[in-house]
Structure 1
Amino acid sequence: MVERRMSPVWKWVLVLFALASVILNIGLIVVHSGRTPRCSAQRGRALLAEHDARSGVFADLSPEEYLQVQKYMLRQKDLDISTRQTTKPSENFLFLIDLLLPPKAEVLAFLDGNGPQPERSATVVVFHGSTGFIKEYVVGPLPTPTYHRDVTREKYGMELPLTKRTVTVGEYVLMFQFFETEVFSKLQKVMAESFGVGPNRKLNAFEQMPRGVQSGDRKTWVSFFRDMSGMYIHPVERLLYNGVYFDSVEELNRAYDARTVERIVHKEAPDYGSLKPRPGVPLQVGPQQFPAGGKRFSVRGNHVVYLDWGFAFGLSALTGMRVFDVRFRGERILYELSVQEAMSVYGSVTPGMIVTKFLDSSIGIGRFAHELVRGVDCPYDATYVDSVRYIDTPRAVRFRNSICVFEHNMGQPLRRHFADFFHHSYGGMANSALVFRTITAIGNYDYMWDFIFYQSGSVEAKVHATGYISSSYMVHGSRRHGHQVAEKVLGNIHTHFINFKVDLDVAGETEAHPTATHGMRMPHAHGCHGGGLCHFSSTTRS
Structure 2
Amino acid sequence: MNSLLKWALILFVLISIILNIVLISIHSGRAPKCSSQRLHPLQEKHDERSRVFADLSRDEYLQVQQYMLMQKDLDISTLQNTKPSQNFLFLIDLSLPKKADVLGYLDGKSSKPVREATAVVFHGTKGHIKEYVVGPLPNPVYHRDVTMEKYKKELPINVRTVTIGEYVLLISFLEQEVFSKLVKLMKESFDVGQDKKLNVFHQMPRGVKSGDRKTWISFFRDFSGRYIHPVGFEVLVNHESINTSDWRVERLLYNGQYFNTVEELKQKYDSGSVKKIVFKESRNYGSLKPQRKPLQLSPQQFYAEGKRFSVKNNHILYLDWSFAFGLSSLTGMRVFDVRFKGERIAYELSVQEAMSVYGSVTAGMILTKFLDSSISIGRFAYELTRGVDCPYDATYIDTYRYIDMEAPTRYRNSICVFEHNMGQPLRRHFADFFHNSYGGMVNSALVFRTITAIGNYDYMWDFIFYQSGSVEAKVHATGYISSSYLVNGSLRFGHQVAENVLGNIHTHFINFKVDLDDLLTSTCQHAFVQVKKRMSFCALRGCAVSNIACLSADV
Range of TM-score over shorter length: 0.7 to 0.9
Instruction: Say yes or no: does 1:225 pair with 2:220.
Output: yes
The equivalent of 2:194 in structure 1 is 199
Instruction: Say yes or no: does 1:290 pair with 2:291.
Output: no
The equivalent of 1:209 in structure 2 is 204
The equivalent of 1:269 in structure 2 is 282
The equivalent of 1:258 in structure 2 is 271
Name the CA shift for 1:450/1:432 in 2 (closer, same or farther; >3 Å): same
Q: Which amino acid in the other structure matches residue 388 of structure 1?
A: Y
Aligned-partner Cα distance in 2 for 1:425–1:189: 80
Give yes or no for contact 1:50–1:310 (8 Å, CA) kept in 2: no
Aligned-partner Cα distance in 2 for 1:446–1:527: 34
Report SS of the residue matched to 1:291.
Answer: coil
Instruction: Say yes or no: does 1:87 pair with 2:58.
Output: no
Return the offset for 1:528: 3.5
1:396 to 399, 408, 424: 408
The equivalent of 1:240 in structure 2 is 253
The equivalent of 1:22 in structure 2 is none
Instruction: Say yes or no: does 1:57 pair with 2:52.
Output: yes
The equivalent of 2:67 in structure 1 is 72
Instruction: Say yes or no: does 1:184 pair with 2:196.
Output: no
Describe the superposition over 1:447-490 as per-residue Cα deviations: whole angstroms up to 9, x where unpaired: 00000000000000000000001100111111111111100001
Describe the superposition over 1:358-395 as per-residue Cα deviations: whole angstroms up to 9, x where unpaired: 11011110000000000000000000000100000011
Report SS of the residue matched to 2:491.
Answer: helix
Return the offset for 1:529: 4.9
The equivalent of 1:136 in structure 2 is 131
Instruction: Say yes or no: does 1:420 pair with 2:415.
Output: no
The equivalent of 2:345 in structure 1 is 333
Aligned-partner Cα distance in 2 for 1:402–1:302: 14
Instruction: Say yes or no: does 1:483 pair with 2:478.
Output: no
Name the CA shift for 1:521/1:98 in 2 (closer, same or farther; >3 Å): farther
Give yes or no for contact 1:506–1:530 (8 Å, CA) kept in 2: no
The equivalent of 2:459 in structure 1 is 447
The equivalent of 2:315 in structure 1 is 303
Report SS of the residue matched to 2:414.
Answer: strand
Number of residue pairs matched by the alignment: 494
Describe the superposition over 1:423-460 as per-residue Cα deviations: whole angstroms up to 9, x where unpaired: 21111100000000000000000000000000000000
2:150 to 146, 152, 155: 155
The equivalent of 1:9 in structure 2 is none
The equivalent of 1:20 in structure 2 is none
Aligned-partner Cα distance in 1 for 2:66–2:295: 50
Report SS of the residue matched to 2:215.
Answer: coil
Describe the superposition over 1:144-177 as per-residue Cα deviations: whole angstroms up to 9, x where unpaired: 1111111111110100001110001111111111
Name the CA shift for 1:78/1:283 in 2 (closer, same or farther; >3 Å): farther
Matches within 5 A, 1:493-504: 493-504=505-516
Aligned-partner Cα distance in 2 for 1:392–1:100: 18
Describe the superposition over 1:223-243 as per-residue Cα deviations: whole angstroms up to 9, x where unpaired: 011000100000132221111
Q: Runs of 5+ in structure 2 lacking a partner?
A: 1-20, 22-30, 235-251, 526-538
TM-score in terms of structure 1 length? 0.88
Report SS of the residue matched to 2:214.
Answer: coil
Aligned-partner Cα distance in 2 for 1:184–1:49: 63
Q: Runs of 5+ in structure 1 lacking a partner?
A: 1-24, 26-35, 534-542
The equivalent of 2:7 in structure 1 is none
Describe the superposition over 1:224-267 as per-residue Cα deviations: whole angstroms up to 9, x where unpaired: 11000100000132221111111122211111121111111111
The equivalent of 1:116 in structure 2 is 111
Looking at secondary structure, tell me which structure has more helix per residue: 2
Describe the superposition over 1:193-224 as per-residue Cα deviations: whole angstroms up to 9, x where unpaired: 11121222110111011111100111110001
Describe the superposition over 1:26-48 as per-residue Cα deviations: whole angstroms up to 9, x where unpaired: xxxxxxxxxx9921121120111
Name the CA shift for 1:514/1:371 in 2 (closer, same or farther; >3 Å): farther
Name the CA shift for 1:508/1:102 in 2 (closer, same or farther; >3 Å): farther
The equivalent of 1:539 in structure 2 is none
Aligned-partner Cα distance in 1 for 2:83–2:358: 32
Aligned-partner Cα distance in 2 for 1:344–1:527: 31
Give yes or no for contact 1:502–1:520 (8 Å, CA) kept in 2: no
Aligned-partner Cα distance in 2 for 1:521–1:444: 37
Report SS of the residue matched to 1:284.
Answer: coil
The equivalent of 1:437 in structure 2 is 449
What's the C-alpha RMSD, in Å, of the aligned pairs?
A: 2.2
Q: Which amino acid in the other structure matches residue 222 of structure 1?
A: I
The equivalent of 1:506 in structure 2 is 519
Aligned-partner Cα distance in 1 for 2:470–2:520: 15
2:38 to 43, 49, 54: 43
Give yes or no for contact 1:229–1:274 (8 Å, CA) kept in 2: yes
The equivalent of 1:537 in structure 2 is none
Name the CA shift for 1:347/1:485 in 2 (closer, same or farther; >3 Å): same
Aligned-partner Cα distance in 2 for 1:168–1:114: 43
Report SS of the residue matched to 1:353.
Answer: helix
Give yes or no for contact 1:503–1:516 (8 Å, CA) kept in 2: no
Report SS of the residue matched to 1:412.
Answer: coil
Instruction: Say yes or no: does 1:249 pair with 2:262.
Output: yes
The equivalent of 1:405 in structure 2 is 417
The equivalent of 1:380 in structure 2 is 392
Of 333-342 and 199-208, the range deviating more from structure 2:
199-208
Give yes or no for contact 1:324–1:334 (8 Å, CA) kept in 2: yes
Give yes or no for contact 1:333–1:507 (8 Å, CA) kept in 2: no
Name the CA shift for 1:351/1:83 in 2 (closer, same or farther; >3 Å): same
Aligned-partner Cα distance in 2 for 1:283–1:265: 42
Q: Which amino acid in the other structure matches residue 78 of structure 2?
A: T
Name the CA shift for 1:438/1:476 in 2 (closer, same or farther; >3 Å): same
Describe the superposition over 1:108-128 as per-residue Cα deviations: whole angstroms up to 9, x where unpaired: 100113200000001110000
TM-score in terms of structure 2 length? 0.86
* Ranges of 4+ aligned residues in structure 1 off by more than 3 Å: 505-511, 513-517, 519-522, 525-531
Return the offset for 1:192: 1.2
Give yes or no for contact 1:342–1:498 (8 Å, CA) kept in 2: yes
